[in-house]
């Protein structure tokens, strides 16, 4: 696997032999997996520290749910949710903090509070000022593929050639970012598992992750507890049986293992501890010396 080295400010990430883990911290009342669990500032900060202790390389903080059919929140409300958490965690953690937002003003204020990565599910299309913020502060930015918005993305998503269309989307998004001052070396791509994708689309993305390597950017993948895993696992069970979280987490670990074996550099997960154990095995398999076989 080609190594990548991201260096900015006081931070650096080496992406190659070891897969990096982005721990999810949702400061929302309505996220599909953990909505409301960390809605208070103190609970969110405590969970962020727990994620770091478990081995997270990045903490990704979001204040607006991106689950299918979700409504957007105001700038004021999103800022109220995330900025105090970022400010407190930045003083306690040495690892980089990512702000999960599509709003340029939230990204700017988050960086000024201590965040140092922008994770934009709209690939910097929702807010025309986002690329200016990324350029000005020189931070890495995650650009994700999605058709439509979270409110509309799961309404019959269709593709003529899934992988080709996603790659074409990234070609344009990367070109647009570079033309607006964003350094090519600081762009991370995310194919958008669960965003305007059917179950089959998600599986094809994971299976053909290696095809995105021609874009020459680090790849982030976020299958954690997504509905496609639930749909697959519940499909073989009695329809009246509700899937346990432990089973959903097992499906998540299988998904990230496959994605990393096929080329992913960063995994975005809820359970950092389980992911760390999974990735120790998967990275060892990836890195084994073929000449000694």
pLDDT in tens, 232-262: 998 855 555 567 889 999 999 999 999 999 9
**Residue 87 pLDDT > 70:** yes
**Residue 38 pLDDT > 80:** no
pLDDT digits (tens, 9 = 90+) for 182-222: 999 999 999 999 999 999 999 999 999 999 999 999 999 99
Higher pLDDT, 66 or 90: 90
Domain ranges of the chain: 4-292
Cβ atoms of residues 196 and 148 within 8 Å:
yes
pLDDT digits (tens, 9 = 90+) for 131-184: 999 999 999 999 999 997 676 657 678 999 999 999 999 999 999 999 999 999
> Torsions phi, psi of 101, nearest 5?
-155, 160
Distance from C-alpha of 158 to C-alpha of 144, rounded to nearest angstrom: 17
What element of type H or E holds 285?
A: helix 272-287
Superfamily of domain 4-292: Dihydropteroate synthase-like (3.20.20.20)
Considering only CA atoms, which of 206, 212, 125, 135 is closest in space to residue 166? 212
> Torsions phi, psi of 226, nearest 5?
-75, 160
Catalytic residue among 103, 197, 225, 268: 268
242 to each of 133, 178, 249, 279, how far by Cα in Å? 43, 46, 14, 28
Catalytic residue among 179, 226, 286, 292: 226
Active site residue 268: yes
pLDDT at residue 240 in the model: 54
Cβ atoms of residues 191 and 201 within 8 Å:
no
């Amino acid at each position: 696997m080609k190594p990548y080295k991201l260096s900015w400010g006081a931070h650096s990430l080496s992406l190659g032999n070891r897969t990096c883990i982005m721990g999810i911290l949702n400061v929302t009342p309505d996220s599909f997996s953990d909505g409301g669990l960390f809605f208070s500032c103190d609970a969110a900060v405590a969970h962020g520290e727990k994620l770091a202790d478990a081995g997270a390389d990045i903490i990704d903080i979001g204040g607006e749910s991106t689950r299918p059919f979700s409504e957007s929140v105001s700038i004021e409300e999103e800022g109220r949710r995330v900025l105090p958490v970022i400010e407190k965690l930045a003083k306690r953690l040495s690892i980089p903090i990512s702000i999960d937002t599509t709003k340029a003003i939230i990204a700017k204020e988050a960086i000024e509070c201590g965040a140092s990565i922008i994770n934009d599910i709209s690939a910097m299309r929702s807010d025309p000022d986002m690329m200016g913020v990324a350029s000005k502060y020189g931070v890495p930015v995650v650009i994700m593929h999605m058709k439509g918005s979270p409110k509309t993305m799961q309404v019959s998503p269709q593709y003529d050639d899934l992988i080709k269309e996603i790659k074409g989307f990234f070609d344009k998004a990367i070109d647009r970012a570079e033309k607006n001052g964003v350094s090519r070396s600081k762009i991370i791509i995310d194919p958008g598992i669960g965003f305007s994708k059917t179950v089959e689309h998600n599986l094809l993305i994971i299976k053909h992750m290696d095809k995105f390597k021609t874009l020459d950017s680090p790849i982030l993948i976020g299958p954690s507890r997504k509905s496609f895993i639930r749909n697959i696992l519940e499909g073989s069970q009695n329809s009246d049986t509700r899937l346990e979280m432990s089973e959903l987490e097992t499906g998540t670990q299988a998904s990230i293992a496959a994605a990393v074996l096929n080329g992913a550099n960063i995994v975005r997960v809820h359970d950092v501890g389980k992911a760390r154990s999974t990735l120790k095995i998967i990275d060892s398999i990836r890195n084994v010396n073929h000449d000694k076989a």
